[in-house]
Each structure stands twice: as C-alpha cells, then as structure tokens.
Amino acid sequence: MSPVYPPQDRSDPMALVVVGVLSGQESAEQGAIARLEGRLGQVALSGPRLPFDWTDYYEREMGPGLMRQYLAFGSLMPEQDLVDLKYEVSRIEAEFAQDDHRVVNLDPGYVDLLKVVLASWKTGMHKIYLSRGVWADPVLIYSDGRFNCQDWTFPDLKSESHHEFFMEARRLFKDLRRRDGLV
C-alpha cells in the first residue's frame, strides 16, 4: 500500500456569499443590507422579496408581515470564513434590534457548484459542526442540473422562486471563479 499524501492543491475552497434577509420593517432591512454591503461589497444579485408565511415562528419576536429575500454579493470568500460571517451578521442584527427583539434576521451562507449552505447556531442530524458554536447546514444540493431540496430544507427554500435565485447565484459563482483565475 502506498503512503497517503496531502493533495497538491491545499488552498481553501472559495464560495459565493449569500445572505437571507427576513424582516417586516423595510427601513431596518435596508439599513442591514447597507451594513452588509459595507462588509461584503455590493449586492450582485437579488432574489425576489417574498412573503414569509410558511410559519409564524418569527412573528412572536419580529411581528407580522415578514418578507424574505436572498442576496448574493460580488466577491468570493473562503468557505471557512462562514463562522466569522455568522458572528458579524449577528452583530448587525443586534444593531437594529428594538426592545431586545430582532427586527431583521440575517442568515449568512454560501453557494458553490454543489450546494447551498447556511450557517446555524443550532445542531441537527444533517449539520456539520464548524467551530465556535456554528454549524453548516447544507439546505440545497445540486444534481441533475438543478438545486434539490432535502428532507430538512426549510419550507420557504422549497419555493421555485428561491431556486431560480440560487441557480443564478451558481452561475455568478462560476463567473467569479473564472474572473479570479480559480478554474
């Protein structure tokens, strides 16, 4: 048996940053997006802003009339930076909180060629622990030319409108990889 060596290319895998924005207060939402752009650069791709009526889970904290939108930013980041990004967006959520309640919920994640991954504070059978209390949640898996839901995929992410956004984000990821000489 031959010895096992590390692969020749040991560079960190890069991914396209995406953030889900959930809010019922458009001014707080726009302020949070501006803060995200200050950290991540300009929004390169915006998904549709859709009513979040799949569950009332967030209404107790954030009030009624919630809308969800996914955004992709115009630069790549190492996948391992997802933990730091989760902490950063939590600080942004806290900046906009009112009476100790969030008015905007930010779900950071990434898109690569094979999956959509969101960062989570919660464990789960399918989640992979990263570090510092953050788990990677692979919510969509790419195969057969499309992103496919898993048993655990959030109901709103099962919407075809969001799938169209993630397919566009995947194309953007491919374009940025080419631009940056990563392919």
**Domain-wise residue ranges, the chain:** 14-179
The structure's pTM equals: 0.92
Along the chain (183 residues), what's the average pLDDT of each consecutive run of 10 residues?
65 93 95 96 95 84 93 95 97 94 96 96 94 96 93 82 92 95 84
14-179 CATH? 3.30.70.260
Residue type, 120: S
Whose tokens are 């019922």? That residue is 24
Task: Return the pLDDT at 9.
Answer: 63
Per the document, the length of the chain is 183
- Residues 14 and 78: their CA atoms lie apart, in Å, by 4
Task: Return the pLDDT at 7.
Answer: 62
> Encoding tokens for residue 167?
């397919």
Task: Return the pLDDT at 156.
Answer: 82
Task: Return the pLDDT at 10.
Answer: 65
